[in-house]
Amino acid sequence: MLPVRPPAETDFSSRLRSAAVTARVGLWLGICFGICFATGLLSHYAQNADHPIPFPTGPVWGYRLTQGLHVVTGTAAVPLLLVKLWTVYPRLFRRPEREVRRLVLDGLERASIAALVASAIFQLATGLANSAQWYPWDFSFRATHYAIAWVAIGSLLVHIAVKLPVIRRALTSDVESTVDDRPTATMPGALSRRGLLRTTWAAAGVAALAVAGGAVPFLRQVSVFAVRSGDGPQGVPINKSAAAAHISDEMVGPAYRLEVAYGDRTVALTREDLRAMQQRTESLPIACVEGWSAGAEWTGVRVRDLLDLVGAPGGRDVDVYSLQPSGPYRHTILQGNFADDDRTLVALTLHGEPLSRDHGEPARLIAPNRPGVLQTKWLARLEVSA
Amino acid sequence: MTPVRAVLGTFGVLAAAYGVWLWLSRGHDRWDVVLWLAGGVVLHDAVLSAVVIVLGLLLVRVLPKAAQAPAAVGCVVLGSVTLLAVPVLGGFGARADNATLLDRNYSAGWLVLAGITIVAVIAASLVRSRRR
């Protein structure tokens, strides 16, 4: 018979629910969260309009690598978190302390654990949903995922500070050690402790492989849960279609002009004008926050050559406008160091063919080491303030 | 309290407080965030944990001894990977105007993964039962 009363800590008898297991899984979970936090901060900064410290334009694969890592380590963290929580689950039902000082300290620790568990689950759940472009909530994903990331990493540091003596003991002694075990955790399970650890590493590995193909081309065949197969028009996936951005035939028809402006000097260029300028070819990846990326070869006009047409000085930020009538990326900032980089193009072709409508026909921005959402499609205007 | 723990704890409290401030000052739909924060904990602590406990009991009572460890391994791997694949398996984010998004056959992928796991569990169980 199962007890009808709420469970007590002593009801849990498996010797697998041990600090020796928790600390080992926790170490790798902490590493994954650390990588997610660092790569997430980097992406958040790259997407800001203001860069007090210039974001580097190289290496060209920098953003692709860091955001691929962000999604792969976040995905691998799911099995790690589930197993870690399983090993400490009995602690949820521990008896309240009798003495006031201990009761307060225990309450504070419980609060920090609640913040950690809630924010950790929140980050993994919202991150996974976002990578599949599924938004079953009303809040802004970017602002909230960023804010809760600080709560997660902060409560993780507090947790490590509280548990440091136990973590040290557990990691420096054998995995079979029972020093920090609950007195009732003595029953052997179906698996040994080493077996459970190996199973956890295997689950994390399978999870990572199942999504890594979104960023690592040679893993595409095995990544059964990647949000992109890597295929798309002209061999490159797209994030936002022309239809979703409300781009009409008229906007990109014969009346199309790319305006380049500096102060009161403006030039308006037709497609033919752009094609008549010196063409450059660059290999630059398109890399998205959702962790998918694809290498591609772009040909078009250097942004710097266009800015020189109106005499815009170097080092200045450029206001970039898209033809799309609305949306947060209709107007973005191309920072001065990106605008001046020789590899930054107004691309007209992708893999040798004119850009398809969904890739930003007739012209799009492509710069090295930059978030995909800022690689503006359907370019309308480049403007440097006087 | 060693200096290391004090420093870690202080930085932790400051970082978490900064996160809360960011959320309260710039976020929208704060109650929706609270719902998701609390919802994750409730789903894990009350639902998923209970399901895992019942599965564990079933595993020990129903399966022969030789199959218990392989089945436990299979459940952990397949269960956790299935859970993280819910957004793609459901295809909730799919859009008619973008054929490059969620463009794999995820059900087939899951069936292959489940098939490999089940075959591996059965093979390991047979090997273990012969060894006894």
**Measuring CA to CA, which residue among A13, A14, A21, A19 is closest to residue A195?**
A21
Identify any residues that bridge with A349 across adjacent strands, giving them in sequence order: A299, A354
Which residues of chain B does A203 touch, with a Cβ-Cβ cutoff of 8 Å?
76-77, 80-81
3-state class of A21 per DSSP?
A: helix
Percent of chain A whose pLDDT exceeds 70: 99
pLDDT for residue A19 is more than 60: yes
- Nearest CA distance, B80 vs chain A (angstrom): 5
pLDDT value, residue A304: 98
**Cβ within 8 Å, pair B109-A225:** yes
Which residues, other chains included, contact A103 with Cβ-Cβ below 8 Å and sequence gap of 6+?
A96, A97
B-chain residue closest to A224, CA distance: B109
To which H or E segment does residue B59 belong?
helix B49-62
- When pLDDT is cut at 50, 70 and 90, the band that residue A130 belongs to is very high
- When pLDDT is cut at 50, 70 and 90, the band that residue A189 belongs to is confident
Q: What would the two tokens of residue B85 be?
A: 């694949």
| Rounded Cα gap, residues B132 and B129, in angstroms | 5
Between A290 and A2, whose confidence is greater?
A: A290
Which residues of chain A does B110 touch, with a Cβ-Cβ cutoff of 8 Å?
224-225
pLDDT for residue A336 is more than 60: yes
How buried is A232 (Cβ within 10 angstroms: 0-12 exposed, 13-18 middle, 19+ buried)?
buried
State the best of B2, B68, B76 to mutate against chain A, taking most chain A CBs within 10 Å.
B76
pLDDT value, residue A1: 53
pLDDT for residue A2 is more than 60: no
Residue B64, phi-psi category: left (phi > 0), alpha (psi -120 to 50), beta (remainder): beta
Backbone Cα Rg of chain A: 26
The reported pTM is 0.96
3-state class of B48 per DSSP?
A: helix
Count how many residues are written for chain A: 386
Q: With the C-alpha atoms ordered B74, B79, B81, B86, is the resulting torsion angle positive or negative? A: positive
Q: What would the two tokens of residue A39 be?
A: 């790569």
Residue A211: count other Cβ atoms within 10 Å of its Cβ: 29
Q: Is A1 on the interface with B (CB under 8 A)?
A: no
| Beta carbons of A370 and A248 less than 8 angstroms apart | no
B-chain residue closest to A150, CA distance: B19
Which residues, other chains included, contact A342 with Cβ-Cβ below 8 Å and sequence gap of 6+?
A280, A302, A304
Whether a cis peptide bond, with omega within 30° of 0, leads into A362 is: yes
**Cβ within 8 Å, pair B41-A138:** no
The tens digit of pLDDT for each residue in A235-268 reads 999 999 999 999 999 999 999 999 999 999 999 9
pLDDT value, residue A5: 85
| Beta carbons of B83 and B40 less than 8 angstroms apart | no
**Cβ within 8 Å, pair B77-A206:** yes
| Beta carbons of A168 and B40 less than 8 angstroms apart | no
Task: Provide the strand spans (E) within A236-309.
Answer: 258-262, 265-269, 280-283, 286-287, 293-294, 297-302
Least confident of A213-222, A234-243, A355-364, B92-101: A213-222
Mean pLDDT, chain B, whole residue set: 95
Mean pLDDT, chain A, whole residue set: 96
| Rounded Cα gap, residues A217 and A83, in angstroms | 30
State the best of B20, B21, B47, B81 to mutate against chain A, taking most chain A CBs within 10 Å.
B81
A:B CB pairs within 8 Å = 236
The tens digit of pLDDT for each residue in A53-108 reads 999 999 999 999 999 999 999 999 999 999 999 999 999 999 999 999 999 999 99
**Which A-chain residues 131-190 have CB contacts (< 8 A) with chain B?**
131-140, 143-144, 146-162, 164, 189-190
- End-to-end alpha-carbon separation of chain B, Å? 52
Who among B9, B36, B109 is closest to A137 (CB)?
B36
Average pLDDT, integer, range B12-16? 98
pLDDT for residue A3 is more than 70: no
Pairing of strands A258-262, A379-384: parallel
- Nearest CA distance, A334 vs chain B (angstrom): 24
How buried is A61 (Cβ within 10 angstroms: 0-12 exposed, 13-18 middle, 19+ buried)?
middle
Average pLDDT, integer, range A157-177? 97
Which residues of chain A does B19 touch, with a Cβ-Cβ cutoff of 8 Å?
119, 147-154
- When pLDDT is cut at 50, 70 and 90, the band that residue B30 belongs to is confident
The tens digit of pLDDT for each residue in B57-67 reads 999 999 999 99
| Rounded Cα gap, residues B45 and B117, in angstroms | 26
Average pLDDT, integer, range A200-211? 98
- Phi, psi for residue B123 in degrees, rounded to 5: -60, -45
| Beta carbons of A266 and A278 less than 8 angstroms apart | no
Q: Which residue has the tokens 């260029």?
A: A269
